[in-house]
Amino acid sequence: MTTLKMTICPAVGLVLFCWIGHPLAAEALLFDLTQVADRPATSVEKVLGKPSRQLDDVFRGRRGYSYPATRATYMNGAIEVTYIEDGARYVAIWVQKLSAKYRGYSYPKDGGKLLADLGLDRNTTAEVSDQAVTRWRDLPGIYQIDVFPTAENQIWYVHMLINRIYE
């Protein structure tokens, strides 16, 4: 009887670990930013789903240039993608519009965790991190990511500039 218990208990433990661990692993990524960056709308829809809203607009960069653009919102308005010259060049995420998991992220402590949720290296060193913004630059395929806090030191929103020429 003891041998039977010793055989069954580890097997049951392994099954429970896999059964419970699988949904947690599937929930790890919000989305893979590298599968969105610089991609056309049809490719982005495969990652984020159909947009809830889409409109033609003009994107004005800090350098004074204007570009015809299309802005599309996804995930009930939590994510906005700006398409310039047929590619996703600017992405904004309103973290407080996402699920409770993300609304609980504290600033600046969970900035790396948010990078990991976007499929990026959570251990990337920020170029700037103060009470107003945390900024990473020159990540693979992404020029700049800025994270901004709420007054309660939660992550409020994130904006990502994919290509420097649209700065």
Residues 113-136, mean pLDDT to the nearest whole number:
95
Residue scoring higher pLDDT (92 or 12): 92
Question: Which has the minimum average pLDDT: 13-17, 52-56, 61-65?
Answer: 13-17
36: closest CA among 77, 69, 80, 66? 80
For the chain, first and last CA: distance in Å?
71
Instruction: Report CA-CA distances (Å) from 39 to 2, 86, 87, 91.
Output: 59, 8, 5, 12
Q: Are 137 and 129 in contact (CB under 8 A)?
A: no
Give the per-residue pLDDT at 57. Answer: 95
State how far the Cα of 102 lies from the Cα of 41, in Å rounded to an integer.
Answer: 25
Confidence of residue 14 (pLDDT cuts 50, 70, 90): very low
Domain ranges of the chain: 1-28, 31-166
Give the per-residue pLDDT at 3. Answer: 54
Mean pLDDT over the full length of the chain: 86
Q: Is the pLDDT of residue 26 over 50?
A: no
Residue scoring higher pLDDT (8 or 71): 71
Q: Is the pLDDT of residue 60 over 60?
A: yes
Give the per-residue pLDDT at 164. Answer: 82
Q: Which CATH architecture has domain 31-166?
A: Sandwich (2.60)
Q: Is the pLDDT of residue 12 over 60?
A: no
Token pair listed for 75: 């995930």
